[in-house]
Structure 1
Amino acid sequence: MTQLPFLHVDPATREVSLDARAPDFYADPNRTYAALHAACPTFYWTQQKQWFFTGYDHVNALLRDRRFGRQILHVASRDELGMAEPAAHTRHFDKAEEHSLLEIEPPEHTRLRTLINRAFVSRHVEKMKGEIEVLANQLIDQFEADGSVELLARFADIIPVTMIARMIGIPEEMGPQLLKWSHDYVGMYMFKRTRADEEAADRSAKEFADYVRSVIAERRAEPRDDLLSHMIHTEHKGQFLTEDELISTTIVLLNAGHEATVHQIGNSVRVILESGLDPSRMFADEKTTERTVEETLRICAPVHIFERWCIEPAEIDGLSFKRGDKVGLILAAANLDPRKFPEPLQFKPDRDEGANLSFGAGIHFCIGAPLARLELNVALPLLFKRLPGLALAATPKVKDVYHFHGLERLDLRWAT
């Protein structure tokens, strides 16, 4: 097994000590995942005090296993579980998350998802291809003659937030504010978040919710051809979304609709450039482009972990779980399982070994996956086509935001 100073594994007990804030870990977590696959793909992470799964088959199955879910308080009380009361200083964040698609289970999840799916998947996404292409070209026009750019601020940040705002019906000039709220909001999901992170997330959750509430009022009075109007005015089995459900759903769509894609644009460009392979071959046609995008999603996923509560007693990989236990599913590590993907640490754009799990699976499969894939399949080929000789101008630095994975900045240069 590879020796890593921040990782200590006891294969006999399957106990693992791993400091998620160690720069050598979060800068290149794939090395650690490979070591875990070699020693114990299912392990007890002592710092996190719970079991984690990295094997592709286990993660894929658990994402679909209805004995595990995103919430637990719909089947058990806090007293039964010995769970502390919610913290007062995160009450606005908790309120915004109360009806989040990411956090609820059927039947509520089924009702919300059915209403949103009709618009999100079929009505709006594919027709946005031309809009994405126009926007990407406009952004490249602004820096093409410079011969260098910091790609995240000038390109990667802008495309996903602009497109999801258009889709939902939020003014595009709100983009910078949406990014700020979103960055603060997702701070709640980082490992070892601080009290300051929590307070920032709570402030932004309140501001975000107040803003969305004002837009909802506008759309009730004057509906438009956008997703928010659709969610307000469409019923499912005689029921409409409540105000709180609309706010939670809009926030999660805005966050999930751009945060991970920003990371993935940067991650993808980096891995392509560091591979030394010819981008023109990767983006030769629609099929090679799709395979290249899926391979970047496999090897450098933007979101690494999803957690599940055990709802019914279950035995997985020789371990017994009871109601109220929590498990971690490391999607990014499942993408590196050598039993599924031979030579998993090698970037191979022509791979065809099955689906990666970067967008999850089961009823919580990422609702924004079609939009994210479309943005990547349009934006990445354009970058490499428009900027010949594209290369790294400095060593990329990874952000300390585990369990997300993205870059602080991405400095590029090319021939002019």
Structure 2
Amino acid sequence: MHVSFDPWSPAFVADPYPAYAALRATGRAHYFEPTRQWLIPHHSDVSGLLRDRRLGRTYLHRFTHDEFGLAAPPAAHEPFHTLNGNGILDLEAPDHTRIRRLVAKAFTPRRVEELAPTVERLAAGLVDAFVAEGGGDLLTAVAEPLPVAVIAEMLGVPEADRALLRPWSAAICGMFELNPSEETARAAVRASVEFSAYLRGLIAARRANPGPDLITALIAAHDEDDRLTEQEIVSTCVLLLNAGHEATVNATANGWRVLFRHPEQLALLRADHGLLPTAVEELLRYDTPVPMFARWVLDDVEVAATVIPRGSQVALLFGSANRDPERFTDPETLDLSRQDNPHISFGAGIHYCLGAPLARLEMAASFGALLRRAPGMRPVAEPEWKPGFVIRGLRELLVEV
């Protein structure tokens, strides 16, 4: 086990890439005692295991906690686990198949396409206000409010309530970090109770008075006699909000930080906005906002010559896989025109990110608006990273325009 992998170290969080390179060079599966996980650093293995049905986000569809050799979570944490456990991210077949199919009926590519003018309008408004101020914190002024506003608009959350969403989301996502504290768990439970109650009120209002929003579509989605339960609708809405808040926000701010550190690539993008589609993909590859995703091992799996036994947890290192020289040419080089780019920042297999088209749309809209309206934007301070590693993002990104 290479000593430099230390997800609680600020230096590691700021630049984990040398540690990833060391992991790739020294093997394909490394047991990491502090989190009792197997670290998987290579693209081919991460990609393969994401599609392998012997692994799962949960084990409860096949085993009890006892059978799997794990303690049940404390009863006090139940509201968080009920909320989290009924969303498609943490379910496996057959429940995952049924819920994802029903959610996909409401959250269609066409619906995302129809959102494009709304996303462009919201991005332009945020960027105009930011430029009028002469700059400031790009994270809180543009990166954060855009996905929040888009998802809130999709769900039909009234504008007056939108400030509630981000703190709830942040508190819940604290539980996805490695070995979260009891204090983190209490905050997540409180947010789960409040958020769920808020959404149940919104669902009741839509049942009484349907609208052109996603909650109405989720209520209406059905196959034969199959519908989403109220808990499944609540969990789906929270999942969409959390993914939009955490991953897209960080992808945007992390992406600008990378561009500022590669002025020659930023100059190319400023000269040719037609590079935006490949630039977005390359920024997602080069510095993914979700560097690690965990899976439970439901049946023994073998990685190279290492048998990883049932009951283990694997940590699939997306950040390492995205820089694997066995899969990418010059992986340490930022190339905004990169064509062959099978990054796995959106995952793969049955849990491939349902919101990927929306995330791409939002990033293209906000980057495009900033390139047009703030062509000389530059950083005024070296940004600091938040302490989390599983969801990796900046505290702030101060710029002037």
- Shorter-chain TM-score bucket reads over 0.9
Residue of structure 1 in register with 2:395 after alignment: 408
| From 82, 89, 94, the counterpart of 2:76 | 89
Task: Indicate whether 1:213 and 2:200 are aligned.
Answer: yes
Q: Is 1:56 aligned to residue 43 of structure 2?
A: yes
Cα distance, 1:285 vs. partner? 5.7
Equivalent in the alignment of 2:214 = 227
Asked if 1:282 is matched to 2:282, the reply is: no
The alignment status of 1:333 with 2:320, answered yes or no, reads: yes
Q: Report the Cα offset of residue 286 of structure 1.
A: 6.6
The corresponding residue for 1:4 is none
Which 10-residue stretch deviates more, 75-84 or 158-167? 75-84
Question: What is the one-letter code of the residue matched to 2:41?
Answer: T
State the Cα deviation string for residues 38-63 of structure 1 (Å, max 9, x = none).
22342111211121111000000110
Equivalent position to 1:182, from 169, 178, 189: 169
- In the alignment, the residues of structure 2 paired with residue 31 and residue 219 of structure 1 have an alpha-carbon distance, to the nearest angstrom, of 50
Q: How far apart are the structure 2 equivalents of 1:225 and 1:111? A: 23
Note if contact 2:43-2:322 (Cα within 8 Å) is conserved in structure 1.
Answer: yes
Alignment match of 2:159 (pick from 164, 167, 172): 172
Match of 2:307 in 1: 320
RMSD: 1.6
Matched, 1:155 2:142: yes
Q: Is 2:268 the partner of 1:296?
A: no
1:348 and 2:335 correspond: yes
Structure 1 segments of 4+ aligned residues over 4 angstroms from their partners: 283-287
Pair 1:17–1:45, CA change in 2 (3 A): farther
Partner of 2:22: 35
Corresponding residue SS for 1:395: coil
Alignment of 1:236-251 (within 5 A): 236-251=223-238
Amino acid at match of 1:53: I
Task: Work out the CA distance in 2 between the residues paired with 1:328 and 1:140.
Answer: 37
Say which SS state the counterpart of residue 301 (structure 1) adopts.
coil
Structure 2 vs 1, CA of residues 17 and 25 (structure 1 numbering), >3 Å: closer, same or farther? closer
Partner of 1:47: 34
CA distance in 1, matches of 2:100, 2:230: 16
Amino acid in structure 2 at the alignment position of 1:167? M
- 1:132 and 2:119 matched: yes
Task: Please state how far the C-alpha of 1:18 moved relative to its aligned partner.
Answer: 3.2
Question: Residue type matched to 1:242 in 2?
Answer: T
My pick for the range that moved more, 80-89 or 21-30, is 80-89
TM-score, normalised with respect to structure 1: 0.92
Q: Kindly provide the CA deviation profile for residues 110-135 of structure 1, in whole angstroms up to 9, marking residues without a partner as x.
A: 11111111232323211111111111
State the alpha-carbon separation in 2 of the partners of residues 49 and 325 from structure 1: 8
Q: TM-score, normalised by structure 2?
A: 0.96
| Range with bigger deviation, 330-339 or 317-326 | 317-326
| Structure 1: segments with no counterpart, 5+ residues | 1-7, 10-15
Name the stretch that deviates more: 26-35 or 312-321.
312-321
Q: Matched residue of 1:408: which SS?
A: coil
Question: Which whole-Å CA distance do the structure 2 matches of 1:18 and 1:34 have between them?
Answer: 10
> How far off its partner does 1:227 sit?
1.1
The number of residues matched between the two structures is 401
* Shift in alpha-carbon separation, 1:27–1:205, aligned structure 2, 3 A: same
> Percent same amino acid among aligned pairs?
39
Q: Is the 8 A contact 2:270 2:375 kept in 1?
A: no
Shift of 1:67: 1.3
Q: Which consecutive residues of structure 2, in runs of 5 or more, have no partner in the other structure?
A: none
